[in-house]
Amino acid sequence: MGAVILGTGSCLPGRVLTNHDLEKIVDTSDEWILSRTGISTRRISGKDEETFKLASTAARRAMEAADVTADEIDLIIVATMSSHMLMPSCACFVQNELGAKNAFAYDLNAACSGFLFALDSGDKYLRVERDKKILVIGTETLSSRINWQDRNTCILFGDGAGAVIMEYQDDPRGVVGSNLFSDGSLWNLLYMHTAPSLNPELEQSDHPGTHILMEGREVFKYAVKAMEGAIHDLLDRQKIEISSIDLMIPHQANIRILKKLVSRIGIDQEKVFINVQKYGNTSAASIPIALDEANREGRLTRDNLLLICSFGGGFTWGASLLRW
Ligand code: ACO
């Protein structure tokens, strides 16, 4: 009894950036990147592949899969931190692209946990407004928010979008429960400034530019522990054993975080969907892209138990359980 996913879609930009391509940009190697992150390639947006355009294509694919028209959508929630404008929201651009004239639309920023948080907001909305249909999207063009001279970060991220259509159904399927967290005290381990202030009083003398900065080792430590805790609590609360999970879709940050997490929670490796090698870390888009791939590959069948989990800047993190 909750918000059921009716259809999924995703969209990746056409350009593939390989580790060998990165060797020509910064002092790195295919071997270093692969062994430290598991990433081989990532997609990078070109002309007409802005955050909202990727999102709109992913949305159209989800709508087609769900057999839902633009007119039927009541709400659009877009999780992103890399829209081409701060105002209007990316969600308003998507609404316009789709011609979803009956929908209200807003963005949500929870960094890499954005889709997880948006899914929870959508689920809660649908529990009250039970006859509505909503579109939940994770979309990023982090290539526009990376310092391409910083080898610590530029090798990690990629662009893409994923989307789901949801509605409330009065059966045991849908979102079973979520367990979400934030800790703003740790903001300075992973962050990105907006444009410099035009008010001299609020000017930051050490403004480093509008790109991602990260203490990789610290993030790694917190990420594994935090996701492990969120998953354990959620499963305990729902009285569900890890062995009952049919598929786990974690945020695709890097393979070492995922392997450590998988071994700590004791889930069978074969039940974990991983595509980080192809797309790198697409932040809020990583879970819905993976979900769409898993769905289209037939990895999910009716009534399967799906576990998703994420960790990102803020810090923000959490886990959700869905009955497919
Ligand atoms: N190529 C070659 N050498 C590099 C590169 C690179 N691309 N980047 C860093 N190095 C060097 C460093 O300069 C350092 O050299 P030094 O010892 O001479 O100073 C050395 O490699 C080790 O650097 P570390 O940062 O300690 O390397 P580490 O083994 O921790 O790996 C990494 C770095 C991959 C970023 C790791 O810390 C990590 O995966 N952290 C998680 C961060 C993450 O995934 N963030 C994404 C956002 S949050 C999220 O989505 C969960």
Sign (positive/negative) of CA torsion 110, 113, 114, 117? negative
Question: Which residue's C-alpha comes closest to atom 33 of ligand 1?
Answer: 216
> Which candidate in 112, 154, 179, 295 is catalytic?
112
How do residues 79-105 score in pLDDT, each as one tens digit? Answer: 999 999 999 999 999 999 999 999 999
112 is known as an active-site residue: yes
pTM comes to 0.97
CB atoms closer than 10 angstroms to residue 233: 14
pLDDT of amino acid 172:
87
Mean pLDDT, range 19-48, rounded to an integer? 98
Contact call for residues 48 and 152 (beta carbons, < 8 A): no
For residue 121, what are its two tokens?
């907001």
Ligand 1 nearest-atom number relative to CA 256: 39
Q: What is the set of domains in the chain, with CATH numbers?
A: 2-171 (3.40.47.10), 175-323 (3.40.47.10)
Q: At what angle do helices 51-66 and 286-296 cross, to 10 degrees?
A: 30
Residues whose CB falls within 8 Å of the CB of residue 87, separated by 6 or more in sequence, listed in order: none
The answer, yes or no, to whether any atom of ligand 1 lies below 6 A from the CB of 225, is no
Cα(280) to centroid of ligand 1, in Å?
Answer: 14
90 is known as an active-site residue: no
- SS3 labels along 181-192: EECHHHHHHEEE
Cα(124) to centroid of ligand 1, in Å?
Answer: 37
pLDDT of amino acid 206:
87
| pLDDT bracket for residue 20 (50, 70, 90) | very high
Measure the CA dihedral 49/52/53/55, to 10°. Answer: 110
**What percent of the chain stands above pLDDT 90?**
97
How do residues 98-147 score in pLDDT, each as one tens digit? Answer: 999 999 999 999 999 999 999 999 999 999 999 999 999 999 999 999 99
Q: Which residues pair with 310 in a beta bridge?
A: 318
CA distances from 264 to 40, 80, 231 (A): 25, 29, 11
Nearest in space to 80 (alpha carbons), one of 43, 113, 33: 113
The answer, yes or no, to whether any atom of ligand 1 lies below 6 A from the CB of 296, is no
How do residues 158-179 score in pLDDT, each as one tens digit? Answer: 999 999 999 999 888 999 999 9
Ligand 1 nearest-atom number relative to CA 251: 50
